[in-house]
Amino acid sequence: MATPPLKVADIAEEYEFVDHQSCSKCSAKGTFIVLGQSLVKIGNTPHDVLHVRCSSCGNEQDFSFDVTIVFAQYDEMLGLKDAKK
């Protein structure tokens, strides 16, 4: 199931969004734990991908976000994060 990426203005919005999603497997809501976060470029658009796991059934899935706005704001911060890896 492909969901068009949500445009966020803040990283916190991503976590808030994930918090309100229901598990595609067990339908539990707000059970997702973020396991990882990665920045990918789709075309010329920066996307943040959150890899999450449902704490109820163990189902893992990804949520993508369009972080064009965040990227513009926190360019420096994300650059530092990238260099640390």
Q: Which of 8, 14, 23, 50: binder of Zn ion (CB under 5 A)?
A: 23
The span from the CA of 43 to the CA of 13, in Å, is: 23
Give the one residue of 9, 12, 26, 72 binding Zn ion; rule: CB under 5 A.
26
Which CB atom, from 11 or from 57, has the smaller least distance to Zn ion? 57
Q: What angle do CA 48, 49, 51 make, to 5 degrees?
A: 150
For 17, the enclosing helix (H) or strand (E) is: helix 11-19
Parallel, antiparallel or unpaired: strands 6-7 and 32-42? unpaired
57 binds Zn ion (CB under 5 A): yes
Judged by CB under 5 A, the residue of 8, 50, 54, 67 near Zn ion is 54
Look at phi and psi of residue 65 and say left if phi exceeds 0, alpha if psi is from -120 to 50, else beta: beta
Q: Least distance to Zn ion from the beta carbon of 21, Å? A: 10
Q: Using the rule CB under 5 A, is 25 a contact of Zn ion?
A: yes
Positions in the binding site for Zn ion (CB under 5 A): 23, 25-26, 28, 54, 56-57, 59
